[in-house]
């Protein structure tokens, strides 16, 4: 097994029973520790800070310092330069909205797992051929939901797929049952309004409900 494959295995082992990546989009640095603590207390072990959030790199640094046992990644990455910035800030995995050769190559160079965003079987296969160890299937609900995940896995050799986009307490378990290795959950748990206000109570309540729904 290659070093990158081993690191990727470690990432998915770190999810444990809670096979969900919490996506923090739009959370300002002054609130990121409080809302993340609420998610961790609910059971989340892996979170992703999207690069289009205010002060995203600062937030990653804060989370790395505050939660040494939490696996912290960066999302919405579109260039190799952004990969380098995120790694320097402390991110341990990278998520992209697209299949971008430069991003996948940079992650391979740094031996860091990357989840490129793909919608079609062709895009998923291309991401795997370029070296991705797992693929973010996006936008999951609009593509067809759990049935779509189940339909494409077999012909593609059962790759690690992480459906993202529209994941909620109502459908998260179904995506996992369809063969997803994990799900990426954002707005249904980490609402933009709650993140902007730093409402850890609301995040904690929604995170707890989501965790209960998938375990």
C-alpha span between 109 and 11 (Å, rounded): 17
pLDDT per residue as tens, the chain (215 positions) = 578 888 888 888 888 889 999 999 999 999 999 999 999 999 999 999 999 999 999 999 999 999 999 999 999 999 999 999 999 999 999 999 999 999 999 999 999 999 999 999 999 999 999 999 999 999 999 999 999 999 999 999 999 999 999 999 999 999 999 999 999 999 999 999 999 999 999 999 999 999 999 99
Domain that holds residue 48: 3-214
State phi, psi for 90 to the nearest 5 degrees.
Answer: 120, 5
Element (H, E) at 74: strand 71-75
Q: Is 48 a catalytic residue?
A: yes
Kindly give the interhelix angle for 29-42 and 200-214, rounded to the nearest 10 degrees.
Answer: 30
Query: Residue 197: is it exposed, middle or buried by C-beta count within 10 angstroms (0-12/13-18/19+)?
Result: middle
Closest to 179 in 3D by CA, of 153, 157, 155: 153
Single out the catalytic residue among 45, 48, 61, 133: 48
Q: Is 136 a catalytic residue?
A: yes
Domain total of the chain: 1
CATH of residue 89: 3.20.20.70
C-beta of residue 166 within 8 angstroms of C-beta of residue 187: no
């Amino acid at each position: 097994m290659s070093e990158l494959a081993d690191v990727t295995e470690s990432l998915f082992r770190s999810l444990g029973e809670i096979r969900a990546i919490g996506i923090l989009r739009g959370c300002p640095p002054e609130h990121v520790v409080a809302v993340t603590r609420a998610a961790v207390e609910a059971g989340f072990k892996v979170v992703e800070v999207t690069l289009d959030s205010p002060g995203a790199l600062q937030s990653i640094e804060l989370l790395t310092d505050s939660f040494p046992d939490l696996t912290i990644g960066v999302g919405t990455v579109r260039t190799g330069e952004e990969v380098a910035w995120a790694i320097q800030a402390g991110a341990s995995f990278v998520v992209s909205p697209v299949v971008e050769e430069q991003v996948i190559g940079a992650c391979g160079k740094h031996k860091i797992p990357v989840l490129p965003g793909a919608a079609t079987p062709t895009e998923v296969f291309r991401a795997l051929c370029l070296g991705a160890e797992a693929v973010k299937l996006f936008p999951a609900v609009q593509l067809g939901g759990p049935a779509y995940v189940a339909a494409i896995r077999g012909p593609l050799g059962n790759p690690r797929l992480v459906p993202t986009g529209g994941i909620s307490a109502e459908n998260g378990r179904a995506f996992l049952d369809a063969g997803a290795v994990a799900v990426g959950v954002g707005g249904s748990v980490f609402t933009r309004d709650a993140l902007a206000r730093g409402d850890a109570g609301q995040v904690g309540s929604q995170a707890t409900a989501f965790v209960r729904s998938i375990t």
